[in-house]
Chain A
Amino acid sequence: MKKLSKQSRTSFFTYGGVILAYVLLQLYNGQVGLSSMIQGLLVPICAYVTMALALNLVVGVSGELSLGHAGFMSVGAFSGTAAAIALQGVIPLAPLRLAVAMVIGALFAALAGFLIGIPVLRLNGDYLAIVTLAFGEIIKSVLNNLYVGFDTTGFHFSFLADTVSPRMAEGGKLIIGGPMGISGIPIISTFTAGVVLVLVALVVIFNLVNSRAGRAIMAARDNRIAAESVGINVTKYKMIAFVISAALAGAAGSLYTMSLSTIVANKFDFNTSILILVFVVLGGMGNMWGAILSATFLTLLPELLRKFNLDQYRMLVYAVVLILVMIATNNPFLQRVAGNAAARFKRKKPAPAVEGGQSHE
């Protein structure tokens, strides 16, 4: 263990933690049985965790605030799901079809990320944030007006009005119906596939962060001008992070959609983007472990609150918990206490105060 660098130790612990959680959950499910509610949430949680990891790459590692990440998720969701429906006859094996769909979703989202990255990454700070928000809204609006049909001759597209249905050959199927979204999606996402996706995301992100490119990205985050002065092509490296993040978001979108039987573009609105940002900020910027835990915790929280029969007070309680958690995790006193406790916990050396604490500014 001692030979490993600190980074690889963190990454191995993270992989191990995810795998351990998976094995424990599977064992528990086999022995005792999880409630249907938790079982139904496993795949969405994996999708949200992947989203949080993807956004963490942009917000935490690359230091750019993106408020439109749900847009990439929706691109992946719609393209991947359409592909999965179209491939139903070609690839009968569901896990393979899911994998192909996620790859297709990731590719489309990466393309969208690249195209959007060209203008977006020229901007800074809050202006960059609002432009990503704008792109998120544009993607939503476009998907809300897109009609895609599939028949024996291939795909048919139309925009604004459904001119697809009459053009299709016998046996054709309207896959994306504008504002109606996609209905009757075959449910092929599984928890195992979700965990594999989370692991893939972790491998990609850790390898990127610990590579030359990753160090360049973080150098550009910490001081753009200094990074430029030593010859780092800031835009290029930021683009790498942005496109990879978009691709992961797209794959997560495919996974998410294929765990439900229906989807509409409105699901991926500003609120979803913000929700994912909350996961990242609560987990600690740049901290992958934190993103995984906070995404899981915050997705479960409102559902677990159902237990208490709060009815309409449920979301009120959720809001209060969110505010309190933000205040508590940023309270200097509590941070000191936590820091001391951590130091005692580690015993040998006191935890450096800055560890894992990369802030946005």
Chain B
Amino acid sequence: MKKFLALMLAMAMVFALAACGGDNAETPATDAPATDAPATDAPADDAPAADATGAFKLGGTGPLTGGAAIYGTAAANGAQIAVDEINALGGIQFELNYQDDTHDAEKAVTAYNTLKDWGMQISLGSVTSKPCEATAAKNFEDRIFALTPSASSTAVTEGKDNVFQMCFMDPNQGSASAQYIFDQNLASKVAVIWKNDDVYSKGIRDTFVAKAAELGLEVVSETTFADGNDTDFNVQLTEAKNAGAELVFLPMYYTPASLILSQANAMGYAPKWFGVDGMDGILTLEGFDTSLAEGVMLLTPFNADAQDEKTQAFVEKYQAQYGEIPNQFAADAYDCVYAYAQALEAANATPDMSAADLCDAMIAQFTTMTFDGLTGEGMTWGADGAVTKAPKGMVIQNGAYVGM
């Protein structure tokens, strides 16, 4: 009788396959190279309405569920706000589609392929680094331009002429932080706590340690943590304390950082803290005692407390729509969409252009244009896809960021 059940399963599957096949039958062009005439690319079955209004199909993948969901949902929300704003202006129109990749390379490729079937013309890559490496390879292969909000590892852009980043590249952050600590003479003995199974953390740590050695900063303690081992930091902190570190460098996201700060406080250890852009968001954690983060320094391109009009309008809108304060992932994704709008406008691109034509136009635009956004003024991009923007040194005082 198990066989019978298996048979039923098989039938269910066949129907499922047939269903997808059926959808696809109308768009035979989806798997052909994107050099096809634009006319064949446009009529994707799912969105005839979008074609009528002439919108650019903008797709992205990110972890919308699972352990990394905070980053993916923030980016998707930030991008959605930007799309709504731009569409309301009546000029360039976007249709946004964010697919879940659960922070996994295989799922990211599937999500990417789903977007391709949908008829994606320009892409927001993936939110996290490893999945983005996988989708960036597909972007390169299919000649679909990608501008990732937050996938910061070098392997994302390496060897791909059509993949660009909105965030800093990891190595830049590491060396900039070491340089900053050295220039400001913040400490001579430094401890580093990093996440051993995370590309982002490891990338920053590597360049930080290399730069520190070059500058003569002494790294007295280096300890790690990993997924599934990221709640208890007493040992790491004890080691840093015993080694006499005056400053602890935390290349990580704000969730583990919040635990480190509270545990250090509990054991009475109060060094200087130095974070990276992933630390942004710590002040807006629901229920977080901001006095714990007093004096934390970080290099970040965005802070939700900034007084300028653009940031305040964005934060307000985000809060009204999603009930939370946006972090830098949201801001990066928001900037991505605006950068696209600017580039598409400058290139006189129209939604009936094929992905490959748009790709060439975007490469030409991004390597020459200058863009002002929430996460920096006067951003420029190199041909390697890396962004150049000035990181702002911030210090937390009385529960708010103050420029250093």
**A interface residues, Cβ below 8 angstroms from B:** 28, 32-41, 44, 141, 144-145, 162, 178-181, 183-184, 187, 256, 260-267, 269, 283-284, 287, 289-290, 293-294, 296-297, 300, 303-304, 306-307, 311-312, 314-315, 329, 335, 338-339, 341-342, 345, 351, 353, 355-357
Out of A37, A40, A145, A290, which one reaches B2, CB within 8 Å? Answer: A290
- Beta-carbon contact of A183 and B155 below 8 Å: yes
Once A40-B113, A179-B202 are accepted as A-B contacts, the answer to whether A300 and B24 lie under 8 Å apart by CB is no
Q: Does residue B9 face the partner (Cβ distance < 8 Å to A)?
A: yes
B2, A356: Cβ atoms under 8 Å?
yes
Known: A178-B202, A260-B134, A351-B1. A267 touches B105 (CB 8 A): yes
Residue of B nearest to A17 (CB): B10
> Are A28 and B21 closer than 8 Å at their CB atoms?
yes
Decide if A35 touches B20 in the complex (CB within 8 Å). Answer: yes
Q: A289 — nearest CB in chain B belongs to which residue?
A: B6
- Cβ–Cβ < 8 Å partners of A33 in chain B: 24-25, 28, 30-31
Residue among B16, B196, B197, B202 with the highest chain A CB neighbour number at 10 A: B197
Alpha-carbon distance between A314 and B131 when the two chains are bound, in angstroms: 19
Known A-B contacts A35-B30, A35-B113, A300-B13; the reply to A179 vs B199 at CB < 8 A is: yes
In whole angstroms, what is the CA distance A345 to B202 when docked?
Answer: 60
Interface contacts beyond A35-B31, A262-B130, A290-B5: sample of 5 additional A-B pairs, CB < 8 Å, sorted by A: A35-B24, A35-B113, A37-B110, A179-B196, A293-B9
Judge whether B159 is part of the interface by a CB distance below 8 angstroms: yes
Question: Which B residues lie within 8 Å of A296 (CB)?
Answer: 13
B113 and A36 form a contact (CB under 8 A): yes
Q: List residues of B (1-43) whose CB comes within 8 Å of A's CBs.
A: 1-6, 8-10, 12-13, 16-17, 19-21, 23-25, 28, 30-31
Q: B180: shortest Cβ distance to chain A, in Å?
A: 25
- B106 contacts partner chain A, Cβ-Cβ < 8 Å: yes
Residue of A with least CB distance to B154: A183
Q: Report yes or no: A260 in contact with B1, Cβ–Cβ below 8 A.
A: no
Measured CA separation A219–B226 after assembly (Å)? 42
CB distance from B266 to the nearest CB of A (A): 28
Alpha-carbon separation in the docked complex, A290 to B163 (Å):
42
Pick from B13, B112, B197: contact of A293, CB below 8 A. B13
CB of B4 within 8 A of CB of A35, answer no
Residues of B within 8 A of A338 (CB): 1, 4-5, 8
- The distance from the CB of A315 to the nearest CB of chain B, in whole angstroms, is 5
CB contacts (< 8 Å) of B19 on chain A: these are 304, 307
User: 0/1 per residue, B94-131, Cβ < 8 Å to A?
Assistant: 00000110101110011111101100000000000010
**Please, which residues of chain A bring their CB within 8 A of the CB of B30?**
33, 35-36
Question: How far apart are B326's CB and chain A's nearest CB, in angstroms?
Answer: 18
A-B pairs with beta carbons under 8 Å apart, 5 shown: A256-B106, A260-B134, A289-B6, A356-B2, A356-B3
Whether A39 and B113, one on each chain, are in contact in the complex, defined by CB atoms closer than 8 angstroms, is yes
CA distance A270 to B291 in the complex (A): 37
Partner of B1, one of A261, A262, A265, A339: A339
Nearest residue (CB) in B for A10 is: B3
Closest CB in chain B relative to A300 CB, distance in Å: 6
The answer to whether B86 has its CB under 8 Å from any CB of chain A is no
Can you list the 7 inter-chain pairs with the closest CB atoms, starting with the nearest? Answer: A261-B137, A36-B113, A262-B133, A183-B155, A284-B2, A339-B1, A37-B113
Q: Which of B2, B64, B109, B158 has the most CB of A within 10 A?
A: B2
Q: Assess the A306–B4 pair: CB atoms within 8 A.
A: no
CB within 8 Å for A304 and B16 given contacts A32-B25, A262-B133, A293-B10: yes
Instruction: Please give, as numbers and ranges, the residues of chain B lying within 8 Å of A260 by CB-CB distance.
Output: 105-106, 109, 134
Query: Taking the complex as formed, is B360 at the interface, i.e. its CB lies under 8 A from any CB of chain A?
Result: no
- Residues of B near A162 (CB, < 8 A) are 206
* B198 CB–A CB distance under 8 Å: yes
The chain B residue with its CB closest to the CB of A36 is B113
Residues of A contacting B87 in the complex (Cβ-Cβ under 8 angstroms): none
| Also in contact, A38 and B197, with CB within 8 A (given A261-B133, A311-B64, A342-B4) | no
Q: A39-B31, A297-B12, A356-B3 are in contact. Are A303 and B114 (CB under 8 A)?
A: yes
Partner of B199, one of A38, A180, A300: A180
B98 to chain A, nearest CB (A): 8
